[in-house]
Structure 1
Amino acid sequence: MRAFMNPKRRWGTPDGPDEDWIRPHVLWLPQHLPEVTAYFDRARAVAAQYPDVIAPVATDDLHMTIQKINARTAHGTRVTAAHLEHAAEAVREALARFDPFNIEIGPARASGSAGIVDIWPGDDLDRLYRAVRTGLSATGLQLPPPQQRFWAHMSCGYGVQDTDTPELAARSDRLASDLGRAVHPPTRTTARVESLWLVWERQHPDGPRYSFERLHELPLARH
């Protein structure tokens, strides 16, 4: 496993302003769903045995990223709370006729720099992703280029360093094996997507971790 928080992923610099570490995002948050948090508890228990390889994601930090939002507008000014309040209403309109739907979460696996939990079905989540982008774009917020196909996933841990010695490589291999066994059976859990959240997300590069401040709930099927 490699260190997750490499220089290309860092939002800010040690001598830069604190606000550089904060960016707006649209997230799906599962903290109110005990079946989901229990599933991630099992993955976290495994990750906690390998602190030299991976930093587990705390329950309060669990999230699925639906859409990242650039921190600056097309005019180069920083996105403000007022921008996001306007954007939230536009996204609510885009989701007003988008019915809630069920998802399956899992299985967990070790990737190149994180513990990953894939989420299904892809078609519903891809449509949700594009509806969110439509609402955000209508308000003039700047978004990263669209994904050809939305990759729905959650992280259960982030790599803390490159496992570039025989000892660390062996521990990384054991983590991958233990993580797969920890959530089997069952390999998946289910949840219902009924709303999203527009948040300020903070990157903590020394964690490594991400935390967030909830700003606006974005319900599906608001008739």
Structure 2
Amino acid sequence: MYLKGEPERNPGLASLVQGGRQALKDFPLTHVEDPWLHITIDQITDRPAAAIPQDERDTLADALSTALADFEPFEITIGSMLSYSSGVIADCHPDDQLAALHHRVRETIRITRGDDAVRYPWGVQHLTISYANGEASSDDAQRLLRRVRPSHASLNVDSVHLVDVTADKEAKTITWEELAKIPLGTAL
């Protein structure tokens, strides 16, 4: 389950991400393209996505739609951007609603698919801006990222996306096929 960054709907986020890309244009990074910006809410880990039949996917999407119908949309702040050896991420704050969303999604997956379906280690959430594809000083990168303005941006969270992810470790990219978009707060 992903939250999509959707810079086209969030101009402040678009400016933040573009500022980070521009600041680090000479670094060995693979920047996450706009359609693939995301925050991971949870991952199904019991078997490869290709092994999950369509009827099970539909059942999960229906269960998530029901479970999230009374979960009201909310807003979080993305930023500041942080440089790591693995790439560039942006913090998410406040994260209490994000954590509550994760718990609701995880519980729904467990009820629908069993406890083994969700073994993804969920921690402090972030939006990945870039993946490292070579060696460089993360300190030098951080000094440049600190100058990016705006340093923060709002993200309206009004849906989650059930996706079938493809990770290319060589190209340092993550892409997906969207299976279902599940809106938040649709209960009457």
Asked whether the equivalents of residues 202 and 210 of structure 1 are also in contact (C-alpha less than 8 Å), the reply is yes
Post-superposition shift, 1:38?
2.4
- Kindly indicate whether residue 139 of structure 2 is the aligned counterpart of residue 173 of structure 1: yes
Counterpart of 1:62 (choices 23, 37, 45) is 37
Residues 209 and 47 of structure 1, relative CA distance in 2, 3 Å threshold: farther
Residue-pair matches, total: 182
Residues 188 and 222 of structure 1, relative CA distance in 2, 3 Å threshold: same
Using structure 1 for the length normalisation, give the TM-score.
0.75
1:138 matched to which residue of 2? 111
Asked whether the equivalents of residues 47 and 55 of structure 1 are also in contact (C-alpha less than 8 Å), the reply is no
Task: Give 3-state SS (helix, strand or coil) of 2:12's partner.
Answer: helix
Alpha-carbon distance in 2 for matches of 1:62, 1:71: 25
Asked whether the equivalents of residues 72 and 184 of structure 2 are also in contact (C-alpha less than 8 Å), the reply is yes
| Larger-Rg structure | 1
Counterpart of 2:73 (choices 86, 95, 100) is 100
* Alpha-carbon RMSD: 1.9
1:88-114 per-position Cα deviation (integer Å, ceiling 9, x unaligned): 111111111111111111000102312
Task: Give 3-state SS (helix, strand or coil) of 1:139's partner.
Answer: helix
Counterpart of 2:179 (choices 190, 209, 215) is 215
Unpaired segments of 5 or more residues in structure 1?
1-25
Q: More helix per residue: 1 or 2?
A: 2
1:140-159 per-position Cα deviation (integer Å, ceiling 9, x unaligned): 15111564xx4221111111
Counterpart of 1:114 (choices 70, 82, 87) is 87
Alpha-carbon distance in 1 for matches of 2:54, 2:17: 32
Residues 140 and 57 of structure 1, relative CA distance in 2, 3 Å threshold: same
2:24 matched to which residue of 1? 47
Residues 46 and 80 of structure 1, relative CA distance in 2, 3 Å threshold: farther
Alpha-carbon distance in 1 for matches of 2:36, 2:121: 25
Alpha-carbon distance in 2 for matches of 1:143, 1:220: 21
Q: Deviating runs (4+, > 4 A) in structure 1? A: none
Unpaired segments of 5 or more residues in structure 2?
none
Post-superposition shift, 1:62?
0.6
Using structure 2 for the length normalisation, give the TM-score.
0.88
